[in-house]
Amino acid sequence: MKNIIKLLITIAIFYFLFQKIDFQTLWAILAKSHGGWILLALIMQLGSTYLAAYRWFKISKLLVFKERLSFYVQSYFKGTFFNQVLPSSIGGDAVRIIDLTRKGYDKKEAFYGVFVDRVVGLVGLLVLNFIASIIFYGTFPSDFSRLIILISVAGIAGFFSLFLFEKINFLAKYKFLNLLHRLSVRLNQLYSSKTVLVKHISISVAVHFLSVLTIYGIALSINAHLSFQMLLIAVPPVFLLTIVPVSLAGWGIREGAMVGIFMLVGADSTKVLAMSILYGLLLIIGALPGSYFWIKNKKITQEEKK
**pLDDT at position 89, please?**
47
Give the pLDDT score at 250. Answer: 85
- CA 222 to each of CA 10, 178, 251: distance values in angstroms, whole numbers, following the listed order: 24, 51, 20
Residue 263 φ/ψ, nearest 5 degrees: -65, -25
Query: Using CA atoms, how far apart are residues 105 and 101, in angstroms rounded to an integer?
Result: 5
pLDDT of residue 35: 87
Q: 211 and 235 in contact (C-beta within 8 Å)?
A: yes
Taking the C-alpha atoms of residue 72 and residue 64, their distance in angstroms, rounded to an integer, is 14
How far, in Å, CA of 34 to CA of 16, rounded?
Answer: 28
Q: Can you give the pLDDT at residue 88?
A: 54
DSSP letters of 53-110? HHHHHHHHHTTT----HHHHHHHHHHHHHHHHT--SSS-HHHHHHHHHHHTT--HHHH
User: What is the per-residue DSSP string for 249-269?
Assistant: GGTTHHHHHHHHHHGGGT--H
Q: Annotate 114-145 with DSSP letters as a single string.
A: HHHHHHHHHHHHHHHHHHHHHHTTTSS-HHHH
pLDDT of amino acid 304:
58
User: In this structure, which amino acid lies at residue 245?
Assistant: P
Q: For residue 108, give Cα distances in angstroms to 101, 104, 186, 276.
A: 9, 12, 12, 36
pLDDT at 181: 75
CB 271 within 8 A of CB 65: no
**94/254 Cα distance (integer angstroms):** 23
- What are the tens digits of pLDDT across the range 212-232? 999 999 999 999 989 999 999
Distance from chain centroid for Cα 200: 15
Amino acid 116: pLDDT? 92
Q: From first to last of its 306 residues, what are the pLDDT tens digits of the chain?
A: 666 777 778 888 887 887 777 778 888 888 888 889 999 999 999 999 999 999 999 999 998 899 999 999 999 999 999 888 876 545 788 999 999 999 999 998 899 899 999 999 999 999 999 999 999 999 999 999 999 999 999 999 999 998 887 777 766 667 667 777 778 888 888 898 889 999 999 999 999 999 999 999 999 999 998 999 999 999 999 999 988 878 888 888 999 999 999 999 999 999 999 999 999 999 999 999 999 888 887 766 665 555
Neighbours of 290 (CB within 10 A): 25
